[in-house]
Amino acid sequence: MYKIAIQNNETSEVRIASYDLDWGKYFFYFWVDGNMGCDCNRHLEFGRAKDPKFYEKFPCGSHEKYSALYAELEDGTKIPLDTATDEEYYDLINPEGG
């Protein structure tokens, strides 16, 4: 299980979304530069963090409305997402060290 802190940048409200999956090494990419980096998907996850039945379309392609602040793993480890420094980003985006 892992959690993602998603912030609505317009209101600064942060919600914690929980996922019944183990964190994998490509999840940083997935949440920062992959599909979950897009506001359309973050809009759904932010809504569902409060109401699991939330559904509302949000236009694809923007990256300003929501921030994924960090992932929190089951052991309490926090992994920075949009908040990663350049150095952290480089290490996290290249999980093989390449």
User: Which residues are near Zn ion by CB under 5 A?
Assistant: 38, 40, 60
Q: Which residue has the tokens 């699991």?
A: 52
Nearer to Zn ion among residue 60 and residue 93 (C-beta) = 60
Nearer to Zn ion among residue 59 and residue 95 (C-beta) = 59
Nearer to Zn ion among residue 36 and residue 72 (C-beta) = 36
Name the minimum Å distance from CB 77 to Zn ion.
Answer: 28
Name the minimum Å distance from CB 43 to Zn ion.
Answer: 9
Name the minimum Å distance from CB 40 to Zn ion.
Answer: 3
Assigned token pair, 21: 């999956």
End-to-end CA gap in the chain: 27
Q: How many CB atoms lie within 10 A of CB 32?
A: 19
> What phi, psi does 97 have (nearest 5°)?
85, 10
Instruction: Give, as one character, the DSSP assignment of residue 67.
Output: E
